[in-house]
């Protein structure tokens, strides 16, 4: 269903490519995570990220489109997660020669704060907000990504008091 176009980056859990969804022609990002059962902590982080992304729906949080079914569901080591595509991330933008005007900076910051506010209202703490985990499009819209370290505080009395609505 997808045609890979180019490698976007690699990280501790695998790699991300930009692909075209053949049925729609839409650009997507496919995150390939290998050896997902080798380390119990990593496995839990992957599960947590996928579980949270399935539930979170906000314009400034990256959208999980689908998880590709493994060829052999009873014995697999690699997981492919298809997500919304963004043109760059804030780390790359800040390192580039692109000049951001005051309005661009204000728009990006406002969008980031809206995403964080949504997460906190949803009782989720991201715990890894950094420029590389903030995807940015040319129109200054952002997509908060990488929820591997995120935690849901629902049911945790000490933490839920902090985020309870007044």
2 φ/ψ angles, rounded to the nearest 5 degrees = -130, 150
Question: Which helix H or strand E contains 84, and what residues bound it?
Answer: strand 79-84
d(CA 15, CA 20): 16
d(CA 166, CA 103): 32
Q: What share of the chain is helix, strand, coil (3-state, %, to 5)?
A: 30, 30, 40
d(CA 135, CA 43): 24
For residue 133, how far is the Cα from the chain centroid?
7
- 91: which 2 tokens? 């780390």
The residues annotated with a catalytic role in the active site are 128
């Amino acid at each position: 269903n997808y045609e890979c176009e180019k490698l976007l980056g690699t990280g501790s859990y695998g790699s991300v490519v930009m692909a075209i969804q053949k049925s729609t022609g839409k650009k997507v990002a496919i995150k390939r995570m290998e050896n997902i059962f080798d380390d119990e902590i990593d496995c839990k982080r992957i599960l947590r990220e996928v579980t949270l992304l399935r539930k979170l729906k906000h314009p400034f949080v990256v959208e999980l489109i689908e998880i590709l079914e493994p060829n052999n569901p009873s014995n697999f080591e690699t997981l492919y997660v298809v997500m919304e595509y963004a043109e760059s991330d804030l780390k790359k933008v800040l390192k580039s020669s692109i000049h951001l005007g005051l309005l661009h900076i204000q728009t990006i910051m406002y969008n980031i704060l809206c995403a964080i506010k949504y997460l906190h209202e949803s009782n989720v703490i991201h715990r890894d907000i950094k420029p590389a985990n903030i995807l940015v499009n040319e129109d200054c819209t952002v997509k908060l990504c990488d929820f591997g370290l995120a935690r849901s505080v629902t049911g945790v009395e000490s933490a839920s008091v902090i985020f309870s609505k007044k």
